[in-house]
Amino acid sequence: MCGIVGCIGNRSVTPIIVESLKRLEYRGYDSAGIATLNGAEIDITKTEGKIADLENILSLTNTACVGIGHTRWATHGIPSSTNAHPHADCSGSFAVVHNGIIENFQALKDELTSKGHIFSSETDTEVLAHLCEDCYNGDLESAVREALLRVEGSYAIAVISDNEPDVIVAARKDSPLIVGLGDGENFLASDIPAIRKYTNKVMYINDGEIVRLTRDNVTVSTLQGVNVERLVTIVDGSVQDAERGGYEHFMLKEIHEQPKALRDTMEDRLCELEGSIDFKELRPFEDEIKNIEGITIIACGTSYHAGILGKYALEDLLRIPVKVEYSSEFRYNNFLSGNRSLAICISQSGETADTLAAMNEAKAQGYLTLAITNVVGSTITRKADEILLTKSGMEIGVAATKTFTAQILTLYMLGIYVARLKKLIDVETSRHIITSMKSVPGLIESLLDNISDIEKASSRICEADCCYFIGRGLSYPIALEGALKMKEISYIKAEGFPAGELKHGPLALITAGTPVIAIVPKGKTYYKTLGNIKEVKARNAFVIAIANASDDEIVKYVDSVIKIPDIDELFSPMLAAVVLQLLAYYAAKDIGAEIDQPRNLAKSVTVE
Ligand code: G6P
C-alpha cells in the first residue's frame, strides 16, 4: 500500500505534492511526509496522521521546485512521525519514499550498521536511503540502480539527493508507478488520478525499470542499464471524478453512481435482439474460451464476494465446475494444471499484490487468464491474457460499492457470452436475461429515491454491538458483502452466513434483540430462508428482511422490511447490495466513523 508522488518543475512543488497525496490517501493514511530540494539541501517534513495534518505543519514559504511525497499504510513499524516517509541517509543527502516491502531489509540493515550507518526508524524503507548513500559515486541513477540490485521484495520508490538537485530517480518492481509529463515539469505517482490535475500525458513504468526525471526530460532504462523507449499515453477521465460533487462522502456519491456505472459497463456490449454479448476484446480468444472445461475465480475482499456470485451464475449457465479462491490462498495452494481452464482474476484496482501474484501462478500452471478490473493501465491489465473493464469511473471510498455491482454485471455478461459461444443457451433465454439486465440501473435509481426504511434499520443496528447477515444461494455472497461493508466502515461486529448454516453454530450467537439482516428475495430458496428466519425469531432476534416489493407475506415473520424492486432472481443480489451499502453507510454515519477512510484499511493493498 502507501502512495508515492514526485514533482520536478519551475514552481513551488509543495502544494502540488500535497494535492497529489490527497488523491492517493485512499492507499493509506496513517502518516505522511514530503521532502523538498531547493537546490542546496533537502528539507523533510513528516507526521503521524493524515495529509491534512501534514498540510498544517508544512511551510507555506517553501519555494523548492523539486520534491517527493508519501502517504503511508504501516507494514514495518508503527504509524509515527519517525517511521513516516521520506527516509534519509546518515548525512541527510538522500531522501527516499517507498511503496512495497524490502524483504531482506534486516540483513541489509545489519550490514550497513556494521559499516557505521545509523538508523533512526523501524522501517524496511530506511535501508534504501542508506544503501543509496553507500553506493553513491557521483551519479544518483547509478547509485539507485546498484542499491536496487541488492534488494529483494517489492517497491515503487522515488529518490532525491542534494548532490544532484535537478533530478528525481524512481524505480518499480511489483508496486505501481507512473510518470506524468508536463510542460517544463514532470511528475511521478502511484497512480494516474494523483497527477491528473496537472497533465493527461503519462508513461507506464514496468517492473525492473528505472526512470530519471528532470524538468525537461524523462528517460527510462532497465535495472541492468539498457535504455527503453516508452510511448506516451494520453489518458481520459475527468478531474471531477476525484471530487465529492456535493455528496458528504465519496462512498455516498459512489453508491449513487451505480446506475451510471452499470449503464457504462453494459454500453456497446449488450445485443438484446440477437441475445448475445459483444465482448470485442475477447474475440481473439474465442476458440480457447469455447473449449474451457473449468474456471477458477481469484480475488480478495469485495471482489471475492463478486466472485462467489459469479460462480453461482457461471455454473448455472455453463454447467462446468467453477471454484472461487482467495488470491492469498490460491498462490500457495497445490493447484492442478490449468489446462483448458480459465482463471478469472477480479480486482477493481488491478494492483492488489496477492491477486497479481496469484494470476502469475495461474499463468505458470497453464491457465488462460482473464482480468476483470476498473482501472485502465493498471498492472493487472498489462499481465493478463485478456481484460474486461468495468466502467465504473474512479472509486475513492475505501469500501468498494459501484465497482462491486459492475463486477457482478461483468461476470453475468461473461456467463451469457461463453454460454452462447458454447451453444448452451438459446437466443430466447439470453434475450430474456439481457432484458432484465438492462432494467437494473433504473431499478437501482428507484431504490435510491426512497431510503427512509434503510436509515431507520441502520439506527436499530447501531444500538447493538453486533449483527448478522444471512442469505442462501445468490443471496449468500451478498450476506458476506453486507457484513464486510458493515464492519469496514462502522466497526460494528458483523458476520455473514449461509442461512442454512445457522444451526451448525452461529445460532449460539443470537440473543434477544440481536439484529439479523435476512436477504430473502423471491426465488428458489425463499421458503428455506423463511424457515431460517423463524429459527432466529424463535431466539428473539430482531430481524430486518430485504425482500421484494411484491412480497406481502414477509412482514408477518420479521420486525422490519426493506423492499427492493421485483426482478429476476439472478439480479436481486445487485439491488440487495445497494441496500446493504446504504445500511452500512448510515450506520457508520450515525456512529460518526470516518466513512471514506476507515481505520487500518486501505483501498489498494499493494503488499502481500
Ligand atoms: C482492499 C479494499 C477492498 C477491496 C480489496 C480488493 O481490501 O479495502 O475494498 O475489495 O482490497 O481490492 P481489489 O482492488 O483487488 O478489488
Question: Nearest to residue 192, comparing CAs of 245, 158, 242, 244?
Answer: 242
Among protein residues, the one with the nearest Cα to ligand 1's atom 15 is 347
The mean of the pLDDT values for the chain is: 93
In this structure, the residue with its CA closest to atom 2 of ligand 1 is 603
- pLDDT at position 403 is 98
Residue 537 designated active-site: no
pLDDT tens digit string along 498-522?
A: 999 988 988 888 999 999 999 999 9
Percent of the chain with pLDDT over 90: 83
Per-residue cell: 24:
492517493
Tell me how far apart the alpha carbons of residues 521 and 535 are, in angstroms, rounded to a whole number. Answer: 18
Tens digit of each residue's pLDDT (9 = 90 or more) over 249-282: 999 999 999 999 999 999 999 998 899 999 999 9
pLDDT at 91 > cutoff 90? yes
Give yes or no for residue 300 CB within 6 A of ligand 1. Answer: yes
What confidence score (pLDDT) does residue 303 get?
98
Residues 28-63 pLDDT 10s = 888 999 999 998 899 999 999 999 999 999 987 889
pLDDT of residue 449: 93
| Residue among 173, 485, 487, 603 flagged as catalytic | 603
> 301 CB less than 6 Å from ligand 1?
yes
DSSP 453: H
CA gap 434, 409 in Å, rounded: 11
Domain borders along the chain are 3-242, 250-448, 452-591
Counting DSSP H helices and E strands in the chain, the numbers are 18, 27
Return the ligand 1 atom nearest residue 303 CA. 16
Question: Does the C-beta of 484 come closer than 6 Å to ligand 1?
Answer: no
What pLDDT, on a 0 to 100 scale, did the predictor assign at position 246?
86
Q: Is 135 a catalytic residue?
A: no
Per the listing, cell 490460491 goes with 330
Q: Which residue is catalytic, options 2, 7, 132, 345?
A: 2
Pocket test of ligand 1: the residue of 73, 190, 328, 348 to mutate, having most ligand atoms within 8 Å of its CB, is: 348
Query: Does residue 588's CB lie within 6 angstroms of at least one atom of ligand 1?
Result: no
Do 250-448 and 452-591 show the same overall fold? yes
Distance 2 CA to ligand 1 centre (A): 14
| Ligand 1 pocket, residue 378 CB under 6 Å | no
Residue 240 confidence class, pLDDT cut points 50, 70, 90? low
Whether ligand 1 lies within 6 angstroms of the CB of 359 is answered as: no
10 Å CB burial of residue 293 (0-12, 13-18, 19+) is: exposed
pLDDT at 343: 96
pLDDT band at 472 (very low <50, low <70, confident <90, very high): very high
Residue 350 Cα: closest atom of ligand 1:
14
Q: What is the pLDDT of residues 481-494, one digit of tens each?
A: 999 999 999 999 99
Q: Which fold has domain 3-242?
A: Glutamine Phosphoribosylpyrophosphate, subunit 1, domain 1 (3.60.20)
Q: Angle of helix 427-448 relative to helix 402-421, nearest 10 degrees?
A: 170
Percent of the chain's residues with pLDDT above 70: 98
Q: Is 374 in the pocket of ligand 1 (CB under 6 A)?
A: no
Expressed in angstroms and rounded, the spacing between residue 559 Cα and the centre of ligand 1 is 33
Alpha carbons within 13 A on the beta-carbon side of 160: 32
Q: Which of 603, 606, 607 to mutate to test the pocket of ligand 1 (most atoms within 8 A of CB)?
A: 603
With a 6 Å cutoff on the Cβ, whether 1 touches ligand 1 is: no
Instruction: Using DSSP bridges, classify how beta strands 466-471 and 515-519 pair: parallel, antiparallel or unpaired.
Output: parallel
Q: For residue 238, is pLDDT > 70?
A: no
Q: Does 303 sit in the ligand 1 pocket, CB within 6 Å?
A: yes
Question: What's the mean pLDDT in 302-327?
Answer: 97
Task: Give residue-wise pLDDT tens across range 381-426.
Answer: 989 999 999 999 989 888 999 999 999 999 999 999 999 999 999 9
E strand spans, 431-539: 466-471, 493-498, 515-519
- The stretch 333-353 carries a mean pLDDT of 87
From the CA of 388, how far away is ligand 1's center (Å)?
17
* pLDDT, tens digit (0-9, with 9 covering 90-100), for 440-459: 999 999 999 989 999 999 99
Q: What is the pLDDT of residue 506?
A: 86
* Residue 515 CB partners (closer than 8 Å, separation 6+): 460, 461, 464, 467, 468, 541, 542, 543, 544
Q: What is the pLDDT of residues 198-221, one digit of tens each?
A: 999 999 999 999 999 999 999 999
CA 508 to ligand 1 center in whole angstroms: 31
Contacts of 448 (CB under 8 A, 6+ apart): 255, 256, 259, 578
Q: Is the CB of 407 under 6 A from ligand 1?
A: no
What phi and psi values does residue 132 have, to the nearest 5 degrees?
-60, -45
In the predicted structure, residue 567 carries a pLDDT above the cut 90: yes
One DSSP character per residue, 458-473 reads HHHHHTSSEEEEEE-T
Beta carbon of 348 within 6 Å of any ligand 1 atom = yes
Torsions phi, psi for 564 (to 5 deg): -115, 150
CA pair distance 496, 576, nearest whole angstrom: 14
**Ligand 1 centroid, distance to 325 Cα (angstroms):** 15
CB 379 within 8 A of CB 345: no
For the 452-591 domain, the top CATH level (class) is alpha beta
CATH number of 250-448: 3.40.50.10490
Name which residue sits closest to atom 8 of ligand 1, judged by CA: 603
User: What is the 370 CA–ligand 1 centroid distance (Å)?
Assistant: 18
Going by alpha carbons, the residue nearest to atom 13 of ligand 1 is 347
